[in-house]
Amino acid sequence: MSRKGKKPVSIPKGVEVKSSGNEVSVKGPKGMLTQTLRQEVTVDVQAEQIVVQLTNEDSKVSKFHGLYRTLIENMIIGVTQGFEKKLQMIGVGYRAIVRGDHLDLQVGLSHPSSFKIPQEISVNVEKGTMITIMGADKQRVGQFAADVRAIRPPEPYQGKGIRYVDEYVRRKAGKAAGK
């Protein structure tokens, strides 16, 4: 059994958790999330906590014990506090603009890049170069941030590109002048 999977997940006030069959739904002030479980995993919803259990202790199934417990915990955190990723654009002429449900990026390409923002995610641009992506679903927020970063990842020579705020980009020395 997983040490992480054995720990119960506490349910804060204002959060409603329902389990029906192999599906768990969590509803809170920031939205509603659902997760489909494997048949070998069961969820016991009690008054103030959730316990994730396995129907059999097979080694192929036991690896999902901690996974589903963490997924349910992330759902609860998402509907109460939410998740956010911050991206920083570094480069001359690099800027971002939110237009309706699209994020437009100018990152030194011959054409502007445009992303459709999913409904459950909100995007905020500060000073034209700081992009904040917020939402209740951790996976969707992270995937959207990764997609935006993939347009122009930071390059190691000048450091230009789109990077996470806390990301360290290792710089390389350029070509040395020859004699």
> What's the pLDDT score for residue 158?
85
Instruction: Please name the residue that has the structure tokens 């008054």.
Output: 47
> What's the pLDDT score for residue 2?
65
CA 52, CA 144: separation in Å to the nearest integer?
Answer: 29
> What's the pLDDT score for residue 174?
79
28-42: pLDDT as tens digits: 888 888 888 888 888
First and final CA of the chain: distance in angstroms? Answer: 65
66-79: pLDDT as tens digits: 888 889 889 999 99
Instruction: Please name the residue that has the structure tokens 């996470």.
Output: 164
Task: Walk me through the domains of the chain, giving residue ranges and CATH numbers.
Answer: 3-80 (3.90.930.12), 83-164 (3.90.930.12)
Stretches in the chain below the pLDDT threshold 50: none
CB 171 within 8 A of CB 159: yes
DSSP string over 43-72: EEE-SSEEEEEESS--HHHHHHHHHHHHHH
> What's the pLDDT score for residue 178?
60
